[in-house]
Amino acid sequence: MKNYFSFENLNNKENISSDEKNVIFHNMLNTIRTGDLLLCTDSFSELISIFKHEKYYIVHKLLIYKGKEAILKGDIFKVSKGELVEFIKKSIDTDDMREFLITPITTSKNKEVLYLTEDLYYLYGC
């Protein structure tokens, strides 16, 4: 499977090591699978107030499966709140929205993950 999507509109993104990518991604996936659905909306503007932290992880949710194990083929980056919001708005406006997982970079035990699709946006928490 080829991944031709790039995050070229995120100018100040920070790369993540391969080991970190897997841990971060599986933690996000676990939050979606076991957490509570806190919000479902088709309006991104309803989510703007949720972005309260300065830095976030953003994942292009492109998966393959080996048996029951999900393997991430999309990219993951650290990005600032302002740039992330602008990136998502631009993706929506240009009809280039993909499936993204987004979570704040925080030491809090409370976990929240935004799961963005082309049409709907979900907030999960645990």
| Ordered per-residue pLDDT tens for the chain, 126 residues | 445 466 777 888 888 888 888 889 889 989 999 999 999 999 998 888 889 999 999 988 777 788 888 777 778 899 999 999 999 998 888 887 888 999 999 877 778 999 999 889 999 998
Task: Look at residue 2 in the predicted model and tell me its pLDDT.
Answer: 45
Phi/psi of residue 6, nearest 5 degrees: -125, 160
In angstroms, the CA 39 to CA 100 distance is: 16
CA distances from 46 to 25, 40, 74, 120 (A): 25, 10, 26, 11
This prediction has a pTM of: 0.87
